[in-house]
């Protein structure tokens, strides 16, 4: 994209997506009161564009329509143009996604909506080409037609928009007094997911095929609970299909956003922090249960991508990596021609790579037919037999070739990385990296997670308001310039619940009381600011924030996983954990009220209610709690923890404490009555409790493994 000087009001925006449009001839305005006042004053409809910096078709539409001088003239004359970054303002995006989907059956990004001056939608869609094509109306014809109709039939449009807004107000509303949450609802969601399973390629549904980490978590949890083989098969088939497909970056690690085909071969190439956090947990869980080294390799590949691309030096994880490095390519950074492979590798390496990753003269990319998406096409053993080599030799040569290809790829123009630190996504990443420490013993992952959590607590946390939505890394005006962080928006529920979850995970791993205290404090703030005192459940924006200015006036209670785990069931999960640790029955009551509120509609959401099902199962299942007390440097403590982490038990939580912490009684109320009574004579011990029933403490990893294998189940 050619960047000229700014021609509109977006140059000073904090969002990379908005700043990328600052040079466009369209007189874009950021979301805010000024834009809506201008629309009312000038009596013009609003053209709303919602997109993201990582979104390929957003860039295409920018180039084709919003950088077109003729179309910009029409927009500037007849509309007030407003541009929104969906990552920066997910609350705005969520409301208009519902509206446009209800109006047209379309959703996604870019989201294009036409609004009345007070923000009510009356028409919309997603990508529109500049002229009529692909069976879609062209942007020019649509702009002229809507402008004409608004002038000629304004009263009709305003009345219609009002009726649409009133109808939309009931779509996501939940009412008390319906069926109660229970195991049968969770089971119905599992059955719905099972019906969508692709038994051949894995995943759920058909093309385009997205990862669904929460659904995979739910199926693995159900397997640990019931040991039904089909549940584990569903998980392993999905994770194997994705890990061998082009949706996984076979050279650099990490997952692209989704696949355009059912075989996971050709992806949309953007990489999101939240996808990789959720999938990392999936692969770690599958490895822990099966011992399959392939799952471990993919988990390490995700971690490699995170460290190389998303990790901020100061702590924290960046939001995303673009699909493309310019408006004229489509995944060129990630794809290879056969000639490019041969130029980087020696003949034997090139032959093995071509066979293993299906690199041929004719590739999969429509814009450049020579470009190949790398995916695992043949097993190592078959290649070894064909080339008369040992499988171990093929593996060694392949590893050497991948390192060379990664080095060569790093010399290409690199897709843009959005360095914004979104709290909710960082919370997911913290929890995933702590899981990496537990499953793989990676202390570096643990330390990186805690560095990030400490950064967010220091820079983005306010006890009175909670957690800010984002930390924006920018250069200061000092000489030489240093990097500083700016915070924005304390009013989104997702940020509160994902960070609270991460704080509890950090408390379990470290035993540090401060993490528990902040989690408790943050949840109390969340209840004060987001809890619906009349109907129960949590609003997606704070009650004291004034709502979503200029938008649909409907309140929302985030329920479905789209694209991240839904905030209300996540809040219920956190409340239940805190209810147990802090001895707060009022928290359990609020968790149950939240789950009951959503129960009536849960089964209708199926696949997209997986987090809700996880929350329901955990609410009614007594937790399996393993407490290890011993010096962290003691090898016996390490062995006890390794045994505790490795054991596959549904509903399991492992807590680690130094003996001095337990002796001092510096413990949450739910642990203070039990742990100080342990025989703390200098020897590390482990205590296993299922619900309120605890077994005698043990001192060896073998004894702990036996105890966990034979301890009563959570349902017995």
As averages over each run of 10 residues, the pLDDT of the chain (716 residues) reads 68 92 96 94 97 92 95 97 96 91 89 94 92 83 96 94 81 77 95 96 94 98 96 98 98 97 96 98 98 98 98 95 82 96 98 97 90 96 96 97 97 95 98 98 98 97 96 63 70 97 98 97 98 94 73 77 95 98 97 95 93 97 94 95 94 95 91 84 90 90 89 56
- Count of alpha carbons within 13 angstroms of residue 180, beta-carbon side: 8
The torsion defined by the Cα of 406, 408, 414 and 417, in degrees rounded to 10, comes to 20
Neighbours of 572 (CB within 10 A): 31
Phi and psi for 504 in degrees, rounded to 5?
-65, -40
The torsion defined by the Cα of 189, 278, 504 and 706, in degrees rounded to 10, comes to 80
116 falls within a domain: yes
Q: What is the pLDDT of residue 2?
A: 43
CA distances from 522 to 527, 578, 627, 635, 700 (A): 9, 11, 24, 35, 37
Q: Which tokens in the block code for residue 99?
A: 């509206």
315 falls within a domain: no
175 falls within a domain: no
- What pTM, to 2 d.p., does this model score? 0.95
Provide the 8-state DSSP code for 698: B
CA distances from 368 to 330, 355, 358, 362, 573 (A): 9, 21, 16, 9, 47
Q: What is the pLDDT of residue 5?
A: 60
Q: Which tokens in the block code for residue 283?
A: 């692969």
Q: What is the pLDDT of residue 178?
A: 81
Phi and psi for 271 in degrees, rounded to 5?
-120, 125
Distance of CA 170 to the CA centre of its chain: 27
Provide the 8-state DSSP code for 307: I
Q: What is the pLDDT of residue 1?
A: 41
Q: What residues pair up with 654 in beta bridges, in sequence order?
A: 626
650 falls within a domain: yes
- Count of alpha carbons within 13 angstroms of residue 346, beta-carbon side: 4
685 falls within a domain: yes
Q: What is the pLDDT of residue 716?
A: 42
203 falls within a domain: no
Classify the C-alpha dihedral 106-112-115-118 as positive or negative.
Answer: positive
> Is the bond preceding 208 in cis, omega lying within 30 degrees of 0?
yes
Write down which residue in 168, 185, 218 finishes a domain.
168
Distance CA 53, CA 59 (A): 8
Q: Which string of DSSP letters, residue by residue, matches 249-265?
A: -TTT-SB-SEESSTTS-
- Taking 3-state DSSP, the helix, strand and coil percentages for the chain, each rounded to the nearest 5, stand at 50, 10, 35
The structural domain count of the chain equals 3
Its domain, for residue 646, covers: 624-710
540 in Cβ contact with 251 (< 8 Å): no
Find the CATH number of the domain harbouring 65.
3.40.30.10
Provide the 8-state DSSP code for 54: T
595 falls within a domain: no
Q: What is the pLDDT of residue 481?
A: 45
Write down which residue in 110, 136, 168 finishes a domain.
168
129 falls within a domain: yes
Distance CA 151, CA 130 (A): 22
Write down which residue in 145, 168, 191 finishes a domain.
168
- Which residues touch 580 (CB under 8 Å, ≥6 apart)? 623, 625, 670
**Residue whose tokens read 């983005």:** 460
Q: At what angle do helices 423-440 and 635-646 cross, to 10 degrees?
A: 110
Q: What is the pLDDT of residue 172?
A: 67
Q: At 81, which helix (H) or strand (E)? A: strand 80-85
């Amino acid at each position: 994209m050619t960047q000229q000087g700014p021609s509109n009001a977006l140059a000073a925006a904090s969002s990379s997506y908005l700043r990328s449009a600052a040079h466009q001839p369209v007189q874009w305005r950021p979301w805010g009161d000024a834009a809506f006042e201008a629309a009312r004053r000038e009596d013009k409809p609003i053209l709303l564009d919602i997109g993201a910096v990582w979104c390929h078709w957003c860039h295409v539409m920018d180039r084709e329509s919003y950088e077109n001088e003729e179309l910009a003239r029409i927009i500037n004359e007849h509309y007030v143009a407003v541009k929104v970054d969906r990552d920066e303002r997910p609350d705005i995006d969520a409301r208009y996604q519902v509206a446009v989907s209800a109006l047209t059956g379309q959703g996604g990004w870019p989201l294009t909506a036409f609004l009345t001056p007070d923000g009510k939608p009356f028409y919309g869609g997603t990508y529109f080409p500049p002229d009529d094509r692909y069976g879609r109306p062209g942007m020019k014809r649509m702009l002229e037609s809507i402008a004409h109709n608004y002038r000629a039939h304004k009263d009709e449009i305003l009345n219609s928009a009002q009726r649409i807004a009133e109808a939309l107000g009931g779509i996501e509303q939940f009412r008390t007094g319906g069926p109660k949450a229970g195991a049968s609802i969770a089971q119905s969601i599992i059955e719905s997911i099972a019906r969508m399973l692709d038994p051949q390629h894995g995943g759920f549904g058909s093309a385009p095929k997205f990862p669904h980490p929460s659904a995979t978590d739910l199926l693995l949890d159900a397997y640990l609970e019931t040991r039904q083989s089909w549940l584990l098969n569903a998980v392993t088939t999905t994770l194997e299909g994705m890990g061998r497909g082009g949706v996984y970056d076979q050279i650099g690690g990490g997952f692209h956003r989704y696949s355009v085909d059912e075989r996971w071969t050709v992806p949309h190439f953007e990489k999101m922090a939240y996808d990789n956090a959720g999938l990392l947990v999936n692969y770690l869980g599958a490895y822990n249960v099966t011992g399959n080294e392939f799952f471990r390799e993919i988990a390490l590949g995700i971690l490699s991508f995170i460290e190389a691309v998303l990790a901020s030096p100061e702590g924290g994880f960046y939001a995303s990596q673009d699909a493309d490095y310019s408006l004229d390519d489509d995944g060129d950074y990630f794809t290879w021609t056969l000639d490019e492979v041969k130029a980087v590798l020696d003949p034997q390496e090139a032959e093995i790579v071509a066979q293993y990753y299906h690199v041929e003269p004719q590739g999969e990319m429509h814009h450049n037919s020579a470009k190949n998406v790398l995916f695992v096409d043949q097993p190592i053993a078959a290649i070894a037999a064909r080339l008369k080599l040992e499988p171990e030799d093929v593996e060694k040569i392949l590893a050497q070739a991948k390192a060379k290809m990664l080095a060569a790829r790093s010399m290409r123009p690199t897709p843009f990385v959005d360095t914004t630190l979104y709290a909710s996504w960082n919370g997911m990443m913290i929890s995933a990296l702590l899981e990496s420490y537990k499953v793989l013993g990676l202390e570096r992952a643990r330390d990186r997670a805690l560095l990030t959590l400490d950064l967010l607590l220091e820079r983005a946390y306010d006890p009175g308001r909670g957690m800010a939505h984002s930390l924006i890394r920018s250069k200061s005006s000092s000489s030489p310039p240093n990097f500083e962080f700016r915070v924005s928006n304390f009013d989104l529920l997702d940020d509160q619940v994902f960070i609270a979850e991460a704080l509890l995970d950090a408390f379990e791993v470290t035993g540090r009381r401060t993490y528990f205290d902040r989690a408790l404090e943050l949840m109390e703030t969340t209840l004060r600011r987001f809890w619906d005192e009349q109907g129960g459940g949590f609003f997606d924006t704070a009650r004291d924030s004034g709502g979503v200015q200029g938008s649909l006036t409907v309140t929302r209670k985030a329920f479905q996983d789209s694209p991240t785990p839904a905030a209300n069931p996540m809040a219920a999960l956190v409340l239940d954990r805190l209810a147990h640790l802090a001895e707060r029955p009022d928290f359990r009551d609020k968790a149950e009220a939240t789950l009951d509120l959503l129960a009536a509609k849960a089964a209708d959401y199926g696949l997209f209610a997986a987090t809700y099902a996880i929350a329901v199962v955990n609410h009614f299942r007594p937790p399996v709690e393993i407490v290890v007390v011993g010096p962290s440097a003691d090898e016996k403590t390490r062995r006890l923890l390794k045994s505790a982490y490795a054991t596959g038990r549904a509903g399991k939580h492992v807590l680690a404490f130094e003996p001095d912490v337990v002796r001092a009684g510096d413990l949450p109320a739910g642990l203070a009555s039990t742990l100080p009574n342990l025989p703390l004579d200098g020897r590390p011990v482990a205590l296993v409790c299922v619900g309120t029933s605890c077994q005698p403490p043990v001192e060896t990893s073998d004894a702990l493994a036996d105890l966990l294998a034979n301890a009563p189940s959570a349902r017995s």
